[in-house]
Amino acid sequence: MSEEMMPIEHTEHAHDAHAETLAPTTTILGMTFPVPLYTAVFFILGALTIIEVLLAEIIDGDIKIPLLLGIAVAKGTLVVMFYMHLKTDSRAFALAFIVPLILAILSILFLIAVPSGSSSYVAT
Amino acid sequence: MSELTAHHHDAHALENHALVSENTKFAMWLFIASETIIFSVFIGIYAVFRFQNKDIVHAVHEALGFGGILIVTLNTFLLLTSSWAMVMGLRSIQLDNVKGGIRWLGITALLGVIFLVLQYYEYSQLAEKSITLGFATDAYEGFGMYFYAPTFFHGFHVFVGVLLCLEVIRRARKGHYSKDNVIMVELFGLYWHFVDVVWILLFTLIYLV
């Protein structure tokens, strides 16, 4: 198949990642764990969820909301990168997902920033 | 047909298969992008309500108590575990162990069903506390509508996911998948993990923040 026929990049990098998910061990920060990558990610997700629930009960104050939302975003990112393979799959997939996501986040921030019932318009 | 020609045809078929797989995956990502927009509307509307009605949300959390949070936390673990079972099923099939893959996918579907049963139980508990869909009957000034809309829509996606999972299992049992042909399993996985990601965000935004 010619290069022009490939609408989406398909590199050897993806094959390396394929081998990474099939391997019986996982290496994180130089340490090797005797579980597959998917299981290692599952343990991290579980630990983050426990931390999240405990923090929600313990912490009170301005830091609570950004901290908990930050952990939730980290968990979501782990699922998208490793379980949905966005870390290794074609960048076209990432683009298709991230562009509407950014638009949605901007819209939500805009909606939150606009105070309700603040219209100065008075009908005559 | 010479051996060289046959080899060329095989290589061509493999390349075509790879191209179709990549394009099908891209289509699935576009579907997920549209779903992202829909869920963003629900999440955005709830977020605006949450930040403009802190006292109401605080009162709901007080009414739910730690017991209520525990049930939802259990449900969160069920979905996380189901996502893990899903990728382990995919991994099994990629390692040429289709029977193992079917077992993992069975666990995925089962955990999805338990999630729905627990969500129904949670809804019944909330109804007893007068958290209802109607603005007039809701004890917390419309919180019910903002709560049920995203969680029910998500629950509906879990229900559809369970049905899709059962279909993938049926096809796997009929020998449709092998280590070189897992695209349908991957597509279902993308859908299921997306539903998981949505719940991760809903869980934090609605129950913890």
Instruction: Name every chain A residue with its beta carbon within 8 A of the beta carbon of B34.
Output: 100
- Two tokens at B47? 């977020």
Q: Does the pLDDT of residue B28 top 70, yes or no?
A: yes
- Strand, coil or helix: B96: coil
DSSP assignment of A33-61: ESS-HHHHHHHHHHHHHHHHHHHHHH--S
- Residue B102 has a pLDDT of 98
Per the DSSP assignment, residues forming a β-bridge with A32 are A27
Please tell me the distance in Å from A70's CA to the nearest CA on chain B.
Answer: 10
Q: What is the pLDDT of residues A26-46, one digit of tens each?
A: 888 888 889 999 999 999 999
pLDDT value at position B200? 97
**Residue, of B103 and B1, whose pLDDT is higher:** B103
Distance from CA of B124 to the nearest CA of A (A): 23
Q: Which of A38, A90, A111 sits opposite B44 (nearest CB)?
A: A111
Q: Quote the CA–CA distance of A96 and A82 in Å, as a whole number.
A: 17
Structure tokens at B148: 């049920």
Cross-chain Cβ contact A53/B208 below 8 Å = yes
Q: State chain B's mean pLDDT as an integer.
A: 91
- Nearest residue in A to B39, CA atom: A104
Find where tokens 């990502």 sit.
B29
Which string of b and e fits A37-53 if b means at least 16 CB within 10 Å? bbbbbbeebbebbeebb
Under a CB-based contact definition with an 8 Å cutoff, are residues B136 and B193 in contact?
Answer: no
Task: Name, in order, each residue with C-beta under 8 angstroms of B36's C-beta and a sequence gap of 6 or more.
Answer: A97, A100, A101, A104, B194
Residue B92 pLDDT exceeds 90: yes
Across the range B169-188, mean pLDDT stands at 95
